[in-house]
Amino acid sequence: MLERFLGIDLGAETLKIAELTRVGGELRFARRLLAEHHAQPGPRLQAVLCGLDWESVRGAEATGRFARLVRLSSVPVKQAQAAGYRFLHGDGPATLVSIGSHGFSVLELRESGVEVFRENSRCSQGTGNFLRQLVGRFGLTVEEASELCAGVSDPAPLSGRCPVILKTDMTHLANRGESRERILAGLYDAVCENVQVLVKPRHCPRRVLLIGGVARSARIRERFRLFLSRHDLVLEPPGDEGLFCEALGRLRRSRSC
């Protein structure tokens, strides 16, 4: 008999669901779903679950900013990321760089079995929400801004470590008539630099995966590729599994599975 399990990630902007199925003792990643909830996470989740035949689900786990809206247990971020990666890619060493709506982190899964986790401070610079606010000043979505600045070779110089200074720099450049493309390229590069502070090239495993919504940006990925190559580290090819790593990992760690 087919058994179904759902990992639910109720984030600040999106709802992500990873579904595992088990037949004869073997678990498989059967389905993934991503949807904007437009500040209505509860009703949106309810509608989605109705379409997924919730009554037949054997077990479920929840995570994300709005996970408190559902009566499901959860697993810490570090454990979820590790479990999600291992389910998808096996037990080899790797470095996971997560850039999401409300935070970013680096998890080292070392060959010795040691796991080292670092995450950002309370400063919002580098998060998806921070990007959304700033690109919104140009009337763009994060995806539109990413596409617009992807191929810019001479980005505008911005002070990336402080959100207040960064916003001031962007306003100043825009008032001077600087192109949107160069300003946005500078913004995305500043985000990369802020996240890269958490990467320790001398100690982290050589294989690096970018996970989280912001990691889908072509410019973010290219800047990371260049940064990693300078330190003899390798960026794994893009794939949408990274969007569901935490949801899948929380589910994978569930006792029900």
Interior/surface letters 230-254, b for 16+ CB within 10 angstroms, e for the rest: eeebebeeeeebbbbbbbbbbbbbb
| pLDDT at res. 69 | 86
Nearest to 235 by CA among 212, 217, 208, 253: 208
Residues 6+ apart with CB under 8 A from 97: 104, 105, 106, 195, 198, 199, 208, 209, 210, 211, 215, 224
pLDDT tens across 148-194, in order? 999 999 999 887 667 778 888 898 999 999 999 999 999 999 889 88
d(CA 28, CA 25): 10
| pLDDT at res. 154 | 95
The angle that helices 77-89 and 245-253 make with each other, rounded to 10 degrees, is 100
Domains and CATH numbers, the chain: 3-75 (3.30.420.40), 128-193 (3.30.420.40)
Q: Average pLDDT of each block of 10 consecutive residues along the chain (257 residues)?
A: 86 86 85 89 92 90 83 81 89 93 89 92 64 89 92 87 80 93 94 92 96 90 96 89 79 53
d(CA 97, CA 194): 12
Number of C-beta neighbours around residue 69 at 10 A: 14
| pLDDT at res. 256 | 46
| pLDDT at res. 222 | 95
Residues above pLDDT 70, as percent of the chain: 92
Q: Which phi and psi (to 5°) does residue 182 adopt?
A: -70, -40
Nearest to 215 by CA among 122, 142, 125, 140: 142
| pLDDT at res. 227 | 97
Helix (H, G, I), strand (E, B), or coil: what is residue 139?
coil
What global pTM score does this model have? 0.86
Cβ burial, residue 89 (10 Å; 0-12/13-18/19+): middle
